[in-house]
Amino acid sequence: MDPDTTVPRIEVAIADDHTLFRDGVREILSTDPGLLVVGDAEHGQAAIAMCVDKRPAVLLLDVHMPGPGASAVIRQVHRLCPQTQVIVLTMYDDAALVRELLGCGAAAYLVKTVTRDQLTAIVKSVARRPAMVQVSVSRQTIVWLDTQRSAPHGPLTDRESQVLGLAAEALSNAQIASRLLITEATVKRHMTNIYAKLGAVSRVDAIRKAHAARLISGGQPRPAA
């Protein structure tokens, strides 16, 4: 008997707003007899709905897509489909983003420079050992994460501190988005979270309170990767 027929295949879903990339990943995964692609989505809300409908073991999730941000998608998938493990697959080798998305519950963070063999191996590993967190980023990013592990943190995430630090330099939301390679909508969501955490009523009030609490200094954000 063919041994592949005795073991259920790992069901995988793909969420990315680039059709060509989705098709390429589907083709890669389909060459492995242990994996089965059950669906794909081109924006965040569709990714959540797909997981609710298909209940895949693994969701491959791009960071910047239309609709809810990656952190919101991860949280919703975990709430609605706790059996689905989320692997972030992105072009951004960004230490603060790694911390943020792993903190939201992502099982792995991979930069799109991974090989096809690495991708299929990590998909299988995440499905079989969900308690393990896997990261494939640059050495620089790993070093930065190590240095931050024991550093004291305030109520803001690293990304929120970056956003507010740039706001303190009088950059607009559009300029902050361009500097951090995120969408303007994501910047607005970060600012909303910052206001709530600091009890601030305006941008100026948030900057003043962050300075008073020493969450930012000299108007500079924490170092980015």
Mapping DSSP to helix (H, G, I), strand (E, B) and coil, where does residue 59 land?
strand
- Distance between CA atoms of residues 29 and 191, nearest Å: 38
225: confidence class by pLDDT, cuts 50, 70, 90: very low
Q: Which domains can be identified in the chain, with CATH numbers?
A: 3-144 (3.40.50.2300), 158-212 (1.10.10.10)
pLDDT tens per residue across span 76-90: 999 999 999 999 998
As a whole-number percent, the residues of the chain with pLDDT over 90 amount to 44
Q: What is the pTM of this model?
A: 0.63
State the pLDDT at residue 135: 78
Q: What is the pLDDT of residues 28-70, one digit of tens each?
A: 999 999 999 999 999 999 999 999 999 999 999 999 888 888 8
Residues whose CB is less than 8 angstroms from the CB of residue 214 and which lie 6 or more positions away in sequence, other chains included: 154
Q: At what angle are helices 184-198 and 203-212 packed, to 10 degrees?
A: 60
Q: Is the pLDDT reported for residue 139 higher than 80?
A: no
pLDDT in tens, 143-166: 555 555 544 456 788 888 889 989
Residue type, 169: E
